[in-house]
Amino acid sequence: DEHDDEHDDEYDDEYDDDEYDGEYEDDDEFVEKIVDDEECIDEYPHCQMWAEFKPSECDRNPDFMLSKCKLACRACEKRKRYSDILPTIDGRDLGIAQNFNGNEEISTEELEKRVAASQKYMREQIQLGSIDPDALRSCKNEYEFCTLWSLQGECDNNPAFMRFRCGPACLSCEMLDFKHRCPMDREIMGPDAWSPGDLDRMFRRLSLEPYKSKYDVNVLSSPDSEEG
């Protein structure tokens, strides 16, 4: 329709092939990535590239992206978690493809094993269902060096950054779920300040003497009044 054509033109202009020096398949060679749900596909060869931009086009242009790049944005109706994308050696199913160029301290083999461990962790979280699905779906390795940094101990040395930006590599996706990040400790909190019915009783007392005169209470409505 006219709306889609308008967006198509915008993307053709903004993401010209000559200006992009990353890696993606040519249009003629592009094969739609179809999983169990036949509608869960990327209709354009550049969908994954657009989804990985900072900020992601999935957030900047949701009307277009969530319709035309469902798989890249992990927005499929039937499958909204990491199971949308099959595990890959380079870990792009966990976000940005990881850099496997090791160094003197960490080998390529160690990096590959860590990615495999991250993938196993994500599968386990899906099966357990203990993390909010939306939080789990948003847990990604946002940098190509997340796995390397995790093996260098950065998950512990720099947790404020790593556990949120490199969640799969740090095995810390539960930190994106508020109930895990800020659990309520009943021992610290103590008993509830209010019990069922306490608020109603407080307002009823305020509407009676001596409080009514003392605080100049004007009751506009109450459960007992005709207006309710």
The C-alpha atoms of residue 182 and residue 45 are separated, in whole angstroms, by 40
pLDDT for res 184: 62
The C-alpha atoms of residue 100 and residue 88 are separated, in whole angstroms, by 13
pLDDT for res 185: 62
pLDDT for res 111: 95
Among candidate residues 132, 126, 127, 121, the one with its CA nearest the CA of residue 166:
121
Among candidate residues 228, 59, 196, the one with its CA nearest the CA of residue 137:
59
**C-beta of residue 162 within 8 angstroms of C-beta of residue 149:** yes
pLDDT for res 2: 44
Stated pTM of the model:
0.48
Q: Which residues of the chain have pLDDT under 50?
A: 1-36, 78-81, 83, 228
**Structural tokens at position 165:** 């930006």
The C-alpha atoms of residue 151 and residue 105 are separated, in whole angstroms, by 9
Burial of residue 166 (CB within 10 Å: 0-12, 13-18, 19+) is buried
Sign of CA dihedral 82, 84, 87, 89: negative
Omega within 30 of 0 (cis) for the link into 210: yes
pLDDT for res 143: 94
pLDDT for res 190: 66
pLDDT for res 131: 80
The C-alpha atoms of residue 89 and residue 68 are separated, in whole angstroms, by 26
Model confidence pLDDT, tens digit, residues 3-43 = 444 444 444 444 443 333 333 333 333 333 333 456 778 89
Would you put residue 36 in left (φ > 0), alpha (ψ -120 to 50) or beta?
alpha
3-state secondary structure of 221: coil
pLDDT for res 151: 96
